[in-house]
Amino acid sequence: MKFFIDTANLAEIKEAQDLGVLDGVTTNPSLMAKEGITGAENILNHYKAICELVTGDVSAEVIATDFEGMVKEGEALAALNPQIVVKIPMTKDGVKACKYFSEKGIKTNVTLVFSVGQALLAAKAGATYVSPFIGRLDDISTDGLNLIEEIRLVYDNYLFETQILAASVRNTMHIVNCAKIGADVMTGPLSSMLGLLKHPLTDSGLAQFLADYAKGNQ
């Protein structure tokens, strides 16, 4: 399973990249705003800076909601760097734009997906990635992981190549469960990845090893 980090924070992206397990980055307008990145030029420059930090795919979301606007904005984003994946909302115009970009060989990530039907449409439109939001489904007392399972079944039935990018991952167990179910990619905060490191027996075992070494080497 690929690990993407879901942030626009350059320090966190660098920390994840330095760990050696990062496969890409996803952003969205809320994450850009959180970092104080505003204005078209600053936003484009920030995407360029992210691409310089990592080697994998970098999802950059369009703001336009109409087909023509998405195409114009998406083409400008894709021209920044071959790593850029144009992130498009799951709307009627978004599906049309996804098909357009897919035919042009531009990578896409269809976002804000909350049902199997939406994921099926995205795959038929040739999406590179589809982003079901598992945490936000959990927030409304729905089983987000179940959606990943159902999309996996449908995609496998028809050998769709669209990669299931489990988004809105909030914690370490989301990552582990996505891996069990067969999500192709997960995107989450740095804390969710670092959480995978933790086990109390690792900590106590290491403390014991170091204490025994110290006793024998006084």
Q: Which of 206, 210, 208, 178 is nearest to 193 (CA)?
A: 178
| Dihedral sign (CA 126, 104, 166, 112) | negative
Residue 117 buriedness (CB in 10 A; 0-12 / 13-18 / 19+): exposed
Query: Smaller CB distance to ligand G3P: residue 25 or 97?
Result: 25
Least separation in angstroms between residue 24's CB and ligand G3P is 12
Alpha helices (H) along 112-199: 116-124, 134-139, 144-158, 172-181, 190-194
**What residues have CB less than 8 Å from 85, skipping those under 6 apart?**
24, 57, 58, 59, 60, 107, 108, 109, 128, 129
Position of minimal CB gap to ligand G3P: 168
| Dihedral sign (CA 151, 152, 156, 162) | positive
Least separation in angstroms between residue 106's CB and ligand G3P is 19
Q: How far is CA 42 from the centre of its chain?
A: 22
Least separation in angstroms between residue 200's CB and ligand G3P is 27
Least separation in angstroms between residue 138's CB and ligand G3P is 9
How many residues bind to ligand G3P according to rule CB under 6 A? 10
Among 6, 12, 57, 73, the residue binding ligand G3P under the rule CB under 6 A is: 6
Q: Which of residues 132-161 bind ligand G3P (CB under 6 A)?
A: 133, 135-136
By CB under 6 A, residue 101 contacts ligand G3P? no
Instruction: State how far the Cα of 63 lies from the Cα of 67, in Å rounded to an integer.
Output: 11
Reply yes or no on whether 87 is catalytic: yes
Q: How far is CA 196 from the centre of its chain?
A: 17
By CB under 6 A, residue 129 contacts ligand G3P? no
Query: Smaller CB distance to ligand G3P: residue 36 or 200?
Result: 36
By CB under 6 A, residue 167 contacts ligand G3P? yes
Q: Are 84 and 77 in contact (CB under 8 A)?
A: yes
Among 187, 190, 192, 193, the residue binding ligand G3P under the rule CB under 6 A is: 187
Query: Smaller CB distance to ligand G3P: residue 68 or 112?
Result: 112
Among 168, 177, 186, 193, the residue binding ligand G3P under the rule CB under 6 A is: 168
Question: Which one from 2, 14, 34, 87 is the annotated catalytic residue?
Answer: 87
By CB under 6 A, residue 26 contacts ligand G3P? yes
Q: Which residues are catalytic?
A: 87
Contact positions toward ligand G3P, by CB under 6 A?
6, 26, 28, 133, 135-136, 167-168, 170, 187
